[in-house]
Structure 1
């Protein structure tokens, strides 16, 4: 094709694409859209929408059972399905680059970063021994790797998830592709790291003129970083157009449902002002909790290493209250939940439930206490025994209760399933026969059957699609109103926390850096780390009924520490202290004289 005519065509286009699997049917059905040169297009949809299958088709990496029933994918004027294997190998990487969700599965753990990058460049004839090395260093610097030369000598396991994703991005962009397909590139990353990776990706692709197909289930992410949007549902394209226009005026009912399911403060069902609880005896008291993990040396005679997972954490929860704990990976929030259940040994401090120090309880007393303190885990599938039927799973906790007869197990299980909106017909099913949302309802029912006073919910909706997530959150709040138990709600998702929490604790590196009622934390955060977390998350704001736009949180005032104090506890010689700044709002500070310069 003549070059001038080729430039008039879209860089990449999908035309009436239909993909099917034997015994399943069509998983992608008559999809059509195009991406222009240098354009950023988002593809959004829930699990099973076909968005990742679309990406694999674009790279000609479909599973062997998959069949392209009809349609074609065009790249630079040629049909990718008509190319031979050798031609397609030259398109992958040099023409179309791809960044996957989990970089560790894309990086070879046995090779250094430098060896892997050079291997890819040589395979595509892009490695000039004289200039190539400097190009690699320059690109690693552009993705903000602090010491590029050292990075080249290191192995993938020596980096965090965010750093690995930056390295993957650098290695793909070094191939100088014309199109970058990013398939859920930041789903496994914390909010702050997610923003950094997406901003780096946007900055470099704009500079290089690379088009981007950003695939995600997260409408906030897609809305903040794309120009046009494609919405998929169950293998079909239901809406496409300018991103801002779709958010302001979603036309298809599914798009409206998807946007309307996003968590928001207005949907909070706690009723009164967040944090407004009648005074009474605390249900849970944690005072100065410390947890130290010790790891033996990897070789004989090498010293053990210790990690301070919790460094003097204190919190209180009253009956019927929802206290959320937020923080990035490694902040200690999950260790806190497990410590309360005595699944992790504490190194210091006190945990009291209903006034009883759990460390001093006998085994019988601890078993009784655990019936009143239940947990709902992040992944409903891995927390359910695949060999047991649902009625056995739900009634599991009743076996240790001498007051409940065995013949009543099934009826009790049926009653609690009804409370979580599952029919009695599910009693004889196995976990694999249920959807993700249904499995999480079973997990909630298993906790609820013991009539607990405290439920620890550890990332209970993070593995679920957004529409399912909304239903589960509403169910959890309804059950709380009905039974009056308290939640310790552990999450990295600030949108979810803003919807459900009465009070919020912000954790960083094993410490509580800020705590207060929900509105105070979200509207008037004091600690710089809290502000960093909140500003990292794109906020889909409802400007009028049914119309939304992407906003970033901005705080005009500089956070001010109380007189004689400062926020930087990391460089402090002494311990940080939570200082009251008014209205049940406390922030972590250190005295000015204890800060170590440099």
Structure 2
């Protein structure tokens, strides 16, 4: 068939199906939805529609109500939660159904992909035994056939060895593989609606792209409607046909992705847009400018950090694993150097060596002229006054039984610095530097927001007035708006105090905003190194290019109107 004939056939198919498309009611209709816990209303009068075979993203910060709405759609609210309004799936108001009748829909008509595969899967049972529970939702009495369907679905979601996955325990699989397992179990019964709650928030950028590509492909191949929960506007813009922007349980803005993304009307949507690193790579250019000037003058200054030829190997199950292989880089004072790469690339081992927590097998490391390699922990204590660490997760890095005042003061106590009054003054100064008031001194971590906790962790690292701070994924557990606040605090402190940062991250868009230089790590080696602008604008290595291509963009994929139309386009490869 000639190209023109194929195009005519597609046009005819669209025309013939236009009346059908117009008659089809939305698969999911949410009208006047409110959710309360006791007397506290957390979602107020929310409404939206999701068409058949379409995708809609609920976006907003933590506490915006997006996950609560998803739980209401899934009828998974806790006993204290009360939902009112109307949630219709394929015309049936599920809020009016009994639990027994709704149970027939859960899994079969409505599938669910949770956020954390580590918590969603039972660690003491094999993947196969858990998969067979999902397969029980398929109307097939033969167990052998159900197992074959499980293996076929595992292959469909891109798991290379389905039989091995079937017999494995969760701890034997990577995070990306576990998320594919969850997606496979969700689509196995062929639901009409798939609810995905932050399905990639804990994954590397390349694995994130593969998972999102998989969801998009399954959505098209199986004609599934996708309700995507995310705080990342870039992901929502790239993957969804329409958006609903939430804040404090209230819809701020709703409409087609193109309209909301290109011309946000609400103040909150505009702020979300501004806070997404992928969409605003030069947001902090003025704050980073002093660091770039230090780079230009690097030849006249000795580096603040020097890592030269370090190697580190471990023995695992009788096999020698080289985690870091001949790694070298230098960091001028007052600049930020980023280490990027997928999980297993050697980033964490490198910073453990840099902090003196492990010793390299070969090579040497110096910080502020002090050599770290080959020294005991006791002899490193003076070095650690100038070398501090901010951990990844503020929800686990702070002692929950201590108050903020003690958390920030502890480093001063350990090093015996100053009088009691001087320590109290330095604690207040450190809190002020990160934008926190003295009224928080008596609070414990559970009484703080995620952003406040991470500011406390940064204040704790600053109280010793170090020259170098290692930032290990310091914003990965935070919403994009809170992340923007933390980044601005860190860069302001660097500009005013001349701090030197080592920044470990898998978020390349954030690295582009934050760092001055970058080392790209793969399988323990540095494959590319240099000025962040040069690396991002002109990557030389295929691996670096693959990382950069995984950054979400604003381009939304074109969606064909009918499954059979999609098949024609796919078969004929017509764009």
TM (norm. structure 1) is: 0.84
Cα 1:32/1:337, change in 2 over 3 Å: same
Whether the aligned pair in 2 keeps the contact of 1:118 and 1:127 (CA below 8 Å) is: no
The 5 A counterparts of 1:289-304 are 289-295=310-316, 304=318
Instruction: State the match for 2:26 in structure 1.
Output: 10
Closer, same or farther in 2 for the Cα pair 1:423/1:110, shift >3 Å? Answer: closer
Where does 1:126-525 land on structure 2 (aligned, <5 Å)?
Answer: 126=140, 128=142, 132-263=146-277, 264-267=280-283, 268=285, 269-271=287-289, 273=292, 275-278=295-298, 279-295=300-316, 304-361=318-375, 365-402=379-416, 404-525=418-539
SS in 2 for 1:287: strand
Q: Secondary structure at the match of 2:529?
A: strand
Cα distance in 1 for residues equivalent to 2:140 and 2:531:
55
C-alpha spacing 1:154/1:389, structure 2 compared with 1 (3 Å): closer
Partners of 1:6 and 1:77 within 8 A in 2: no
Aligned to 1:81: 95
Aligned to 1:31: 46
**Residues 443-477 of structure 1: CA deviation (Å, up to 9, x unaligned):** 11111121111111111111111111111111111
**Uncovered stretches (5+) of structure 2, i.e. residues with no partner:** 1-19, 558-575
Secondary structure of the residue aligned to 1:539 is: coil
Following superposition, the deviation at residue 550 of structure 1 comes to 6.6
- Of 245-254 and 106-115, deviating more is 106-115
Deviation at 1:400, TM superposition (A): 4.0
Separation in 2 of the partners of 1:534 and 1:521?
10
Task: Provide, for residues 130-188 of structure 1, a one-character-per-residue CA deviation record: whole Å limited to 9, x for no partner.
Answer: 75454433322221222233333333332211112212222221201111111111111
Q: Greater share of helix residues, 1 or 2?
A: 2
Tell me the distance in 2 between the aligned counterparts of 1:92 and 1:400. 54
C-alpha distance 478-128 of structure 1, shift in aligned 2 (>3 A) = same
Contact 1:220 1:550 in 2 (8 A): no
Secondary structure of the equivalent of 1:271? helix
> In the superposition, relative to structure 1, how do residues 420 and 114 fare at CA in structure 2: closer, same or farther (>3 Å)?
closer
Please give the secondary structure, in 2, of the residue aligned with 1:395.
helix
More displaced, 104-113 or 50-59?
104-113
- Secondary structure (helix, strand or coil) at the match of 1:38 reads coil
Q: For residue 281 of structure 1, give the secondary structure of its aligned residue in structure 2.
A: coil
SS at match of 1:203: helix
CA contact (8 A) 1:17 1:32 kept: yes
* Number of equivalent positions: 531
Counterpart Cα distance in 2 of 1:7 and 1:153: 46
Determine the C-alpha separation between the residues in 1 that align with 2:166 and 2:406: 53
CA distance in 1, matches of 2:438, 2:453: 14
Task: Quote the Cα distance in structure 2 between the aligned partners of 1:443 and 1:251.
Answer: 36
Task: Summarize the alignment of residues 32-51 of structure 1 with structure 2, pairs less than 5 Å apart.
Answer: 32-51=47-66
SS in structure 2 of the partner of residue 61 of structure 1 = coil
- Unaligned runs of at least 5 residues, structure 1: 298-303, 541-548, 552-598
Query: Is the CA contact 1:101–1:184 (under 8 Å) kept in the aligned structure 2?
Result: yes
Q: Quick one: structure 1 residues 448 and 109, their matched pair in 2 at CA, closer, same or farther if it must change by over 3 Å?
A: closer
CA distance in 1, matches of 2:79, 2:241: 34
Do the aligned partners of residues 83 and 430 (structure 1) sit closer, same or farther apart at CA in structure 2, a change above 3 Å counting?
Answer: same
1:548-588 CA-partner distances (Å, limit 9, x unpaired): x679xxxxxxxxxxxxxxxxxxxxxxxxxxxxxxxxxxxxx
Residue pair 2:417, 2:423 contacting (<8 A) in 1 also = no
Cα distance, 1:408 vs. partner?
A: 1.4
Cα distance in 2 between the residues matched to 1:251 and 1:422 = 31
Question: 1:6 touches 1:76 (CA, 8 Å); kept in 2?
Answer: no
Looking at structure 2, the residues matched to 311 and 352 of structure 1 have their Cα atoms a distance apart, in angstroms, of: 18
Q: Is the 8 A contact 2:232 2:276 kept in 1?
A: no
Worse-superposed segment, 95-104 or 355-364: 355-364
Say whether 1:20 aligns with 2:36: yes
Q: Does 1:59 align with 2:74?
A: yes
SS in 2 for 1:384: coil
- In structure 2, do the counterparts of structure 1 residues 517 and 16 end up closer, same or farther at CA, with 3 Å as the change threshold? same
Distance of 1:89 and 1:108 partners within structure 2: 21
C-alpha displacement of 1:429: 2.1
Q: CA separation in 2, counterparts of 1:76 and 1:276?
A: 62
